[in-house]
Structure 1
Amino acid sequence: MDHSDTPSRHVLFLNWRDTTNPEGGGSEVYIERIAAELVTAGHRVTLLCAAHDQGGPAETTDTGVRVLRRGSRMTVYLRAALICLVGRFGFGPLGRRGLGRPDLVVDVCNGVPFFAPLYAGRPVIALVHHVHREQWPVVFGPWMSRLGWWIESWLAVRLYRRCRYVTVSEASRAELTDLGVDADRIDVVPNGTPAVTGPALPRTPHPSLLVLGRLVPHKRVEIALRAVAELVDELPDLELVVAGQGWWEGPLRELSESLGITDRVRFTGFVSEEEKHALLCSAWLALTPSLKEGWGLTIVEAAACSTPTVAFRYAGGVAEAMVDTETGLLVDSEQEFTAVVRELLADDVRRKAMGEAALTHAAQFTWTATGARFAQLVAQATAGDDRAGHDRKTTARVTAGS
């Protein structure tokens, strides 16, 4: 693609995590893949996120994205505001001697936004993967849940009323319009399919299930554990692999022990891309019992390895990351979840056909196309800068001629 006619922009992403953060997930993968595509298109990209023990204070990734890690999970919002405000006066990492002021700020709203329109002094795009209505009471107590939902559903909608929105699925777009965001201000830019990191590998000789993702309450890994407990008598060699890390691992291990299935469940902790590939290839089925997903990146990751998924129909974008009855199955209750897992484990022909269809479906989503669409939005959001610059040059020529 020829980018010679595309003005280079400096795009600043504000997100409280990056992919090296132990709590990073699909949202962070999306942001950093988009950022990498923008760099390929000729733009400069900076990601400002929270610092953590596994990452240095600042670095440039191998894709050319500059990462600024400042503050903690709670204070990164204030640090972002201060850095942007100081940068407007030519100081700090975004000042004249640093990375330079951004032309566009992408405010990643993971429940709590960065409130960038109050201080950015630049066009702002609000990036929302999904609305967190269901997650607030699962993760926080009553008071914090009410406050968080008020910020997300009332305050943010009004603060960003002049901004464009980007989300990853039509389901999330519908949720945003329900909150009062104008539908014509929302662009849907879905995830791409992660690159397959190795050759196809054989399935396990025994029935096997995989849950892949962060271990937090709203991912509801408990449902997968209870399904195994119900099926293990009829499938004594059944295995569940729980791949990922998170602060909810302790309670999940306790539940596994109380259900008497510790010998049927393997917690892997963090897995490398190569290990993840091996797990996705070897599993008979992938399970996504999550309460809500903006898209369902793990569903597409599994599909890229010809592994079908079972998920919940009401869980947001998962219904777009898969095709129900073709690349996997969507269910409406925990009882149905266990029942269809049982059915698919017993039906080799149907399961294989779903896996092949899933592989074809996943190939439709590419990061190149996703990045190109986002680059269009960058150009549109910053078009006013080009017009203003042209007007200034025209005025200068007229003044000089007179």
Structure 2
Amino acid sequence: MKGDIGMTPLRIVHISYDWYRFDPLVRRLAEAARARGHLVDVICLRHGAEPPYEECNGVSVYRVPLDRGFGQPLPVTVLGWLRFLLLAAWMVTRLHFRKRYDVVQVHNMPDFLVFAALVPRLFGARVILEVQDASPELMAVKVRGRLRRLAKTLAILQERLSTLFADHVITVGWPFEEVLLRRGVPRHKLSVILNSPDPRYFPPSRRARFPATEEDGDFILMYHGTMAERHGLDIALRALALALPAAPRLRLDLLGRGEQIPFLRSLAEELGISDRVTFRETCTVDKVADFIAHGDVGIIPYRCDGFMDLLLPTKAYEFAWLHRPIIAADTKAIRSMFRPESVMLCEPENPLSFAAAFVTLYHHPEKRAQLIENAAQDFEPFRWESMSERYNELLERLCGHPRSTAAVAISQQIGSHRPRS
């Protein structure tokens, strides 16, 4: 079989401690390589009644007999990681002797899953570690009390060993890149590939309608993704309660999974706004655009806790691409992507600041339109077409294939970007 690149296709396998249909990053990268003509497998968790094997848009998905939970104690989480490490290592080793992979790409958390690729690496496969989250900073947030320092120290150690083992490291934003460089990952071994929305799942036809008016019914604020304390949704609920007297048509729609959902439901009742807050179950990647299309303003109320201020959220790209104005906590990560005039920036962990932003955009459609235009301009150089080309160029370079002229141009364009101050 020959791919679009006019050469023998690469054989690639992704390993992810998540559910494939719910993981936008793994799915985008896998399908980008498959569209290039490469042969792509994924080893992941099995969710509910999913089959052990399935082909999804040309990608072969192998599911281990293990699911995951949320909000579990750290020892239980680590035990789940170790079980998956063993199961994934066994499966990728078996598949490697049958398929002879060129690339094994492992997605954290945790970083040490990269050692599942030990046998394929010994037999010549190149290994990529995808750092979606900076483990030490996340452990410092998740672990409380006397164990926090120990957890962060162990997280730094396993991150260091994992990045040393990998042939290349990919991360999803410039703040994480800076952290990894400081911790010793060589620049030549590190690439930034943003988790931009794939137009196949986020078609431009779903972009914003005309700004909502009084006749349009509810004015919908929306958030989709993980719901944990660090994501600040309790701040959004308190802000909604403060804003409703001045903006009575406001509603907040939440879609996702996470351990804080019971608390958020209780808080909405306590604040007397449960009739203005809707909780929706998490959905597959191809349904997220429907959720964004139904709303008026996207919100990102993250806390600044040493981790979240480094996190460049995928939802920010999706809001910008589908022309929804954004209200976000004023973090280093958000400023690395957008100008202040492109996003309604709020003081982190301050419900009054968010409430003021809710009311401002509720009453000023011209402000919403300007934010949409500015954010779209900021995002334009980082569209998925550029990111997927950069990713495929990396795969081919690691495996000794020549670089195309187009790939070189895109790599130089993206590489010249530096975070905004």
Tell me which residue corresponds to 1:338. 355
Kept in 2: contact 1:210–1:241 (CA 8 A)? yes
Kept in 2: contact 1:286–1:307 (CA 8 A)? yes
- TM-superposed CA distance for 1:107, in Å, is 1.6
- TM-superposed CA distance for 1:137, in Å, is 4.6
CA RMSD of aligned residues (A): 2.8
Tell me which residue corresponds to 2:163. 160
Kept in 2: contact 1:193–1:366 (CA 8 A)? yes
- TM-superposed CA distance for 1:214, in Å, is 2.4
CA offsets, 1:35-88, max 9 Å, x none? 1111121211111112221421111112x111111142412111112233xx3x
Kept in 2: contact 1:112–1:148 (CA 8 A)? no
Kept in 2: contact 1:8–1:44 (CA 8 A)? yes
CA offsets, 1:145-165, max 9 Å, x none? 555533432222134225321
Structure 1 residues 165 and 95: alpha-carbon distance in aligned structure 2, compared to 1, 3 A threshold:
same
2:90 pairs with 78, 82, 88, which one? 82
Kept in 1: contact 2:206–2:322 (CA 8 A)? no
User: Aligned ranges for residues 130-209 of structure 1 at < 5 Å?
Assistant: 130-142=133-145, 145-146=148-149, 148-161=151-164, 163-195=167-199, 196-197=202-203, 198-200=205-207, 201=209, 203=212, 204-209=216-221
Task: Verify: 1:70 aligned to 2:49, yes or no.
Answer: no
Tell me which residue corresponds to 1:29. 24
Tell me which residue corresponds to 1:249. 261
- TM-superposed CA distance for 1:289, in Å, is 1.5
Kept in 2: contact 1:133–1:149 (CA 8 A)? yes
Structure 1 residues 284 and 107: alpha-carbon distance in aligned structure 2, compared to 1, 3 A threshold:
same
**What letter is aligned with 1:264?**
R
Tell me which residue corresponds to 2:127. 124
Tell me which residue corresponds to 1:106. 105
- TM-superposed CA distance for 1:176, in Å, is 1.1
CA offsets, 1:91-116, max 9 Å, x none? x34332xxx13111112122443032
**What letter is aligned with 2:132?**
H
**What letter is aligned with 1:323?**
R
Tell me which residue corresponds to 2:76. none
1:95 pairs with 91, 94, 97, which one? 97
Structure 1 residues 115 and 278: alpha-carbon distance in aligned structure 2, compared to 1, 3 A threshold:
closer
- TM-superposed CA distance for 1:199, in Å, is 4.4
**What letter is aligned with 1:329?**
M
Tell me which residue corresponds to 2:404. none
Tell me which residue corresponds to 1:323. 339
CA offsets, 1:345-391, max 9 Å, x none? 3322111211233344444433332222111211222229xxxxxxx
Look up the SS of the partner of 2:328 in the other structure.
strand
Kept in 2: contact 1:227–1:338 (CA 8 A)? yes
1:299 pairs with 316, 327, 338, which one? 316
- TM-superposed CA distance for 1:324, in Å, is 2.4
Structure 1 residues 9 and 194: alpha-carbon distance in aligned structure 2, compared to 1, 3 A threshold:
closer
Task: Verify: 1:312 aligned to 2:329, yes or no.
Answer: yes
Tell me which residue corresponds to 2:270. 258
Structure 1 residues 16 and 188: alpha-carbon distance in aligned structure 2, compared to 1, 3 A threshold:
same
Which range moved further: 74-83 or 287-296?
287-296
Cα distance in 2 for residues equivalent to 1:208 and 1:280: 10
**What letter is aligned with 1:136?**
M
Kept in 1: contact 2:320–2:375 (CA 8 A)? yes
Kept in 2: contact 1:34–1:367 (CA 8 A)? no
Look up the SS of the partner of 1:115 in the other structure.
helix
Structure 1 residues 273 and 178: alpha-carbon distance in aligned structure 2, compared to 1, 3 A threshold:
closer
- TM-superposed CA distance for 1:325, in Å, is 1.5
User: Aligned ranges for residues 225-304 of structure 1 at < 5 Å?
Assistant: 225-271=237-283, 276-291=288-303, 292=308, 294-304=311-321
**What letter is aligned with 1:10?**
R
Kept in 2: contact 1:210–1:283 (CA 8 A)? yes
**Higher share in helix:** 2
Structure 1 residues 282 and 52: alpha-carbon distance in aligned structure 2, compared to 1, 3 A threshold:
closer
Look up the SS of the partner of 2:54 in the other structure.
strand
Structure 1 residues 205 and 129: alpha-carbon distance in aligned structure 2, compared to 1, 3 A threshold:
same
Q: Percent identity?
A: 21
Tell me which residue corresponds to 1:58. 53
Tell me which residue corresponds to 2:35. 40
Kept in 2: contact 1:34–1:370 (CA 8 A)? no
Tell me which residue corresponds to 2:232. 220
User: Aligned ranges for residues 362-373 of structure 1 at < 5 Å?
Assistant: 362-373=379-390
Which range moved further: 162-171 or 144-153?
144-153
- TM-superposed CA distance for 1:138, in Å, is 4.3
Q: TM-score, normalised by structure 2?
A: 0.78
Cα distance in 2 for residues equivalent to 1:13 and 1:143: 36
Structure 1 residues 51 and 309: alpha-carbon distance in aligned structure 2, compared to 1, 3 A threshold:
same
Kept in 1: contact 2:329–2:348 (CA 8 A)? yes
2:395 pairs with 365, 369, 378, which one? 378
Tell me which residue corresponds to 2:17. 16
Structure 1 residues 379 and 199: alpha-carbon distance in aligned structure 2, compared to 1, 3 A threshold:
closer
CA offsets, 1:292-314, max 9 Å, x none? 26432211212223211122232
**Number of residue-to-residue matches in the alignment:** 366
Look up the SS of the partner of 1:239 in the other structure.
strand
Cα distance in 2 for residues equivalent to 1:205 and 1:188: 41
**What letter is aligned with 1:105?**
V
CA offsets, 1:174-215, max 9 Å, x none? 121222222332111122333234545454434331112122
Unaligned runs of 5+ in 1: 385-402
**What letter is aligned with 1:305?**
L
Structure 1 residues 381 and 300: alpha-carbon distance in aligned structure 2, compared to 1, 3 A threshold:
same
